[in-house]
Structure 1
Amino acid sequence: MTTSSRRIHVVSFTGNSGLTDYAVSLCRELDKLADVTLVTAASYDPARYQVNFPYASLFRRTRQYPVDILRYIAYTLKTRPELVLWQSWLKYPLLEGWIVMLLRLFGIRMALTIHDLLPHEPKPWSRMVCAWFYRRFDKLIVHSERSVEGLRAMGVHTEPLLVPHGIYDIFRLAPLTREQARAELPGIGPDDFVVLFFGHIDVRKGILEFLHTSELMRDQPHIKFVVAGGRGSTLPAAAAAELDRYKDAPNVILHDHMIPFERVQYYFTAAHAVALPYLEGTTSGVIKLAMAFDRPFIATDIGDFAETLRDWSGLLTAGKQPAAEFADAIARMRADYARYAAELADKSAKYQWPTIARAHAQYLSLA
């Protein structure tokens, strides 16, 4: 850890989610530039990430939020960091905006990383509430030009830091060949072209479109569609029933359960390409996993996906006929895969965490 007196808190309400992965990756590098503490949930396990910077476990389950948010305020006022960097709103932006103003009254600078401009499945009032929330902060950090434009359209005039979402290299635990990875995933043959849908299974992420694509390509030999991720409690019953229908499909491998941290590397190493047939969203940590494992991706043209492809390899689809467009993109990538793989060389420099941490330090006046 640095001996700098610049004390900052990086806050993630969850302790075992994609936001946590992001916060840990950032803290790992910021800790070399400032005195960093990760403020997170009781479910956080530093051994999982193999990191040793300080942390405080203040949050528990959502039902305990009313008590925990008071604990958080008391802890922050007691420790008095120079700056606090929240990773998104914690739970309720309308309430938490007032907490931000309170902490600023005590001389604590407040910054926010905006991972999604609006909540998933936004309400009619979400845009107004989020715009008000964003204006409470001294500094804002976004990951795409579309997010910058979105902030301006919402009437938020704070000049943000535009910095890409870093790659998730924390999941690369050991050298692993594709053959070794596939040996851990029964059902994948040595000649199969593997397309991976990874992460929380949700309708908005296009899981049904991905499975419909597998049906369109069922007669094409040696193409396997792998689904790896837990079903959310909000998955509609009709979508769950549709998911179950593909459990016995010959070209689908369905692992619809939470993937342990140490198993993530097997899925990405085994895959040729990563699929993101998203229907809605701003950014995705799954892309940064694909980049960490040097895999091209196929995605719907939403959020920052097109911007990321300027620096990476893959294909975008318009999303008007999702299954047919994805089937065509998979066929094109498979036919010319050597070229897509070759394009990956030396393209990830701007997505490395040391570069991202230095940009944070300069923007937040930590360096």
Structure 2
Amino acid sequence: MTTTPRRIHVVSFSGTSGLADYAVSLCRELSKLAETTLVTADSYDPARYQVDFQHAHLFRRTRQYPLDILRYVFYTLRTRPDMVLWQSWLKFPLLEGFIVMLFRLFGIRMALTVHDLLPHHPKPWSRALCAWFYRRFDKLVAHSERTVQGLQEMGVRTKPLLVPHGIYDIFRLGELSREQALAQLPGVSPDDFVVLFFGHLDVRKGILEFLRTSAMLRDQPHIKFVVAGGRGSGLPAAAAAELDQYKDAPNVVMHDHVIPFEKVQHYFTAAHVVALPYLEGTTSGVIKLAMAFDKPFIATDIGDFGETLRDWSGLLTAGKAPAAELAEAIVQLRANYASYAAELSEKSAKYQWPHIARQHAQYLSLS
């Protein structure tokens, strides 16, 4: 017979990112099964998420990491949780692997959620470093069969929990009609078929392919391409310049800024389909937003996107000619939208957080 650990720390270095959204969603349900504390950054605001479980503000900005990581080590050794679940590496896997070893010496069991198998811009040594890092943990949580296979190929022998990334229902703040959502999106009419690109405007996420697709379909009546997300400091100058060329396009609505938490629901309520023409990645919270709002999605065949579509509705593209393939998929989905949209809400059972939290509790209790 196994028992759920009495005290669990779920750790997210960021208090406002997608990792934080994931950690909050998990903690909301896990706190019903065990004494759960979210260890995160000063930027975390429980009122934003409308949750009330325990939390600890220990991290600040990256430049303050050397001090904050020491604060975190002392806090963990002082509070002595039964289990710690990190949401990915915090900042520097090499250093943090030794911290994991230290905690285990003190009898603290360590687990890790593998959100990305490798960094988005891996170095020649990243694969070996990450493999070493993953082997430091007692338990691993993976979101896709591809990630499990990747861990095996890296020589990681720990048998992970394979559980999907849950839907982001925390962004559904209340009943909202499409008419109300469209009132917040000037330039989009009720007759428009809305294709949404949401999230950081990153080259690896295919933002340029999305905009090139809009140019290909400019003559198609009533198709609107809505872009919603901040540029960030990592967008290359050439990519930023190309992006700017589409700001005045008649079939593009560009909101290239960080979207406030409470406004997210407006974009997904207004959308007909969500586009993820990613060039690289392992998983995406944007898909789980699409699912939370019962929207089909179109994505390239990377990471866990194909596995998710087994349980959802939408289209997968090969990604060999991303813009052309996305354009073809949009036209196909629009022509048969009723069939894609039917019964979506009934397909999300395995992605609900209560079910996911129970799987975590059972797996993390094993010795």
Deviation at 1:79, TM superposition (A): 0.3
1:270-349 equivalent positions in 2, closer than 5 A = 270-349=270-349
Are 2:205 and 1:218 equivalent residues in the alignment? no
Contact 2:12-2:39 at 8 Å conserved across structures: yes
Residues 34 and 366, structure 1, Cα contact 8 Å, conserved in 2: no
SS at match of 1:346: helix
Structure 1: where are the runs of 5+ without partners? none
Q: CA deviation at 1:343?
A: 4.3
Paired with 1:83 and 1:240, the residues of 2 have a C-alpha distance of 43
1:58 counterpart SS class = strand
The code of the aligned residue for 2:329 comes to A
Check whether the contact 2:5–2:365 (CA below 8 A) recurs between aligned residues.
no
TM-score normalized by structure 2?
A: 0.98
Q: Call closer, same or farther: CA 1:5–1:89 in 2, change over 3 Å.
A: closer
Aligned to 2:51: 51
- Give how far 1:5 is off: 6.9
Q: Distance in 2 between matches of 1:345 and 1:127?
A: 38
Alignment map for 1:1-367 (pairs within 5 Å):
6-365=6-365
Secondary structure of 2:265 counterpart: helix
Percent identity for Structure 1 against Structure 2: 81
Could you report, residue by residue, the CA deviation over 1:172-197 in whole angstroms, capped at 9, with x for unpaired residues? 00101111111111000111000000
Is the partner of 1:56 in helix, strand or coil?
Answer: strand
- Paired residues of 1:40 and 1:58 also in contact (CA < 8 A): yes
- CA-to-aligned-CA distance 1:306-340 (integer Å, 9 cap, x gap): 00000000000001111110000000000000000
Counterparts of 2:317 and 2:38, CA distance in 1 = 38
Indicate conservation of the 8 Å contact 1:6/1:366, yes or no.
Answer: no
Deviation of 1:366 after TM superposition, in Å, equals 7.8
Tell me how far 1:345 sits from its aligned partner: 3.6
Q: Is the 8 A contact 1:312 1:343 kept in 2?
A: no
Write the letter of the residue equivalent to 1:127.
R
In 1, the alpha carbon distance for the partners of 2:265 and 2:236 equals: 29
Q: Provide the secondary structure at the position in 1 that maps to 2:101.
A: helix
For 1:356 and 1:309, the matched residues in 2 are separated by 18
Distance 2:117 2:205 in 1: 16
Q: Deviations over 1:74-119 (max 9, x none)?
A: 0000000000000000000011000000000000000000000000
For the residues of structure 2 that align with 1:244 and 1:345, how far apart are their CA atoms?
37
Query: Quick check: 2:5–2:83 contact (8 Å CA) kept in 1?
Result: no
SS in 1 for 2:197: strand
Q: Unpaired segments of 5 or more residues in structure 2?
A: none
User: 1:15-53: per-residue Cα shift (whole Å, max 9, x none)?
Assistant: 000000000000000000000000000000000000000
Cα distance between partner residues in 1 of 2:364 and 2:112: 11
Corresponding residue pairs, total: 364
- After TM superposition, the score normalised by the length of structure 1 is 0.98
Q: What whole-Å deviation, never above 9, does each CA across 1:222-245 have from its counterpart, x for those lacking one?
A: 000000000010100000000101
Whole-angstrom CA distance in 2 between matches of 1:297 and 1:349: 18
For 1:221 and 1:316, how far apart are their aligned partners in 2?
Answer: 24
Could you list the runs of 4 or more consecutive aligned residues of structure 1 that deviate by over 6 angstroms after TM superposition?
A: none
Equivalent-residue separation in structure 2 for 1:285 and 1:149 (angstroms) = 21
Aligned partners of 1:313 and 1:343 also within 8 Å: no
- Please report the RMSD computed on the Cα atoms of aligned residues, expressed in angstroms: 1.0
Amino acid aligned to 1:217: L
AA partner of residue 297 (structure 1):
F
